[in-house]
Amino acid sequence: MSKVKIINGNEAAALGAKISRVQVVAAYPITPQSKIPETLVKYVDSGEMKAEFIRVESEHSAMTVCISASTVGARVFTATAANGLAYMHEQLHWAAGARLPIVMALANRGLGAPWTIFNDMQDSISQRDTGWMQVYCRDNQEIIDSIIMGYKITEQLHVPMMVCFDGFVLSHTVMPVEIPDQDQVDAFLPPYVPHLQVDGPEPININPVMLADPRVNAEGVDCPSYMGFRLRLQETLESAGDVILKVGQEFGEIFGRDYGCLLWEYRTDGADIILLSMGSLANEASLAVDQLRDKGYKAGVVALRVFRPFPAEPLRAALSDAKHVVIFDKNISYGNEGATCTETKAALFEGDERPVITNYIVGLGGKNVSFADLEAATLKALKRKGQMNGPHWLGVAV
């Protein structure tokens, strides 16, 4: 029987790992995710969770432990934020390149310098090109569900996944979360079967040096080149959307919460104004849309649930009737604009008619963004006719 608990996002993430029967956890403290490893240690020490918990000295080592434990066949988990994720950067590439089904919880936090412990998405967006899938959660229920689904998806695709949620906004905010029944999770998520057998009859040299051109093996067969391996990773990510949808639907059939989508939509029927964002900001945008609808505007919300693989096709469809798209980014690609703005524009390039796009940079370093801010910013954007140059920064007085 599932039961409802009032828990914060970090506890939801830890429960997600426990209920997924993770076998090795390696983690390092960093605000605002420290409660995740603290909670997992309690589960392991009390015997509730049968896992090896490695108290590493850095995030670089946390990811390395996950990589090597996953390589020998264990289901692994870690969590981090901000500079911790940046410190892992080399090993994020390694994990994806080694095609390992690692699931990581990320409590989104701004990067130093200067220091901030508060929320934005600069950390995960900066890791966009490492080959990891990225899922963004709107609430704590989505955190636990995304982690359970994450193992099913990653173990099918052999590509790692980051389950991202807003630091403090979700990590430290309690709300009711339905904890799935363990037996049902076990039926949904069978034990991990690695794609390599390190203890098989034949020794293997895993992730050796590769050349740019294919080389023949002892049987005279051409084996892939470095670029051939990169192409396989790209092809897998191109097909990953279908797997995410299928697993999301299956999850919905068993647990009653349907994740058969790559985008979340709210009041988009007949909407010609779309507020676009990710994570908990989408909830705030929904409140703004309610206000705008009350005032007669045909407004709706599109939230990117999955950022990698980028859902270009469903996004084109979701924005096909939009005349104005207002994009709120909790990140900035310095010298350009917010990342979701760039990606959305690229997705719309193939369309005949393009909406007017306005990009707002919001909420960096925990700057509060209320639904009223989003509503006012949208109304301001609607006055514009042509495309804009560069993003607007919302709420920066000094």
Sites of contact with other proteins (CB under 8 A): 23-24, 26, 50-52, 54-58, 60-61, 64-74, 76, 90-91, 94, 198-199, 203-211, 215-218, 223
Min separation Cβ 86 and other proteins, Å: 15
Quote the CA–CA distance of 291 and 287 in Å, as a whole number: 7
Q: Are 265 and 276 in contact (CB under 8 A)?
A: no
Residue 94 or 312 with smaller CB distance to other proteins = 94
Residue 194 or 365 with smaller CB distance to other proteins = 194
Residue 114 or 208 with smaller CB distance to other proteins = 208
Residue 25 or 319 with smaller CB distance to other proteins = 25
Residue 22 or 170 with smaller CB distance to other proteins = 22
Quote the CA–CA distance of 319 and 355 in Å, as a whole number: 8
Residue 85 or 281 with smaller CB distance to other proteins = 85
Min separation Cβ 196 and other proteins, Å: 9
Quote the CA–CA distance of 104 and 160 in Å, as a whole number: 8
Q: For the CA atoms of the chain, what is the radius of gyration?
A: 21
Min separation Cβ 216 and other proteins, Å: 8
Quote the CA–CA distance of 291 and 185 in Å, as a whole number: 39
Residue 145, phi then psi, degrees to nearest 5: -65, -40
Contacts of 62 (CB under 8 A, 6+ apart): 26, 27, 28, 54, 56, 78, 80, 88
Contacts of 47 (CB under 8 A, 6+ apart): none
- For residue 15, which of 45, 41, 46, 40 has the smallest C-alpha distance? 40
Min separation Cβ 189 and other proteins, Å: 17
- Strands 133-136 and 161-166, sheet pairing: parallel
Residue 74 or 86 with smaller CB distance to other proteins = 74
Min separation Cβ 40 and other proteins, Å: 14
Max Cα distance, the chain (Å): 72
Helix (H) or strand (E) holding 223: strand 222-223
Min separation Cβ 91 and other proteins, Å: 6
Min separation Cβ 74 and other proteins, Å: 4
Contacts of 296 (CB under 8 A, 6+ apart): none
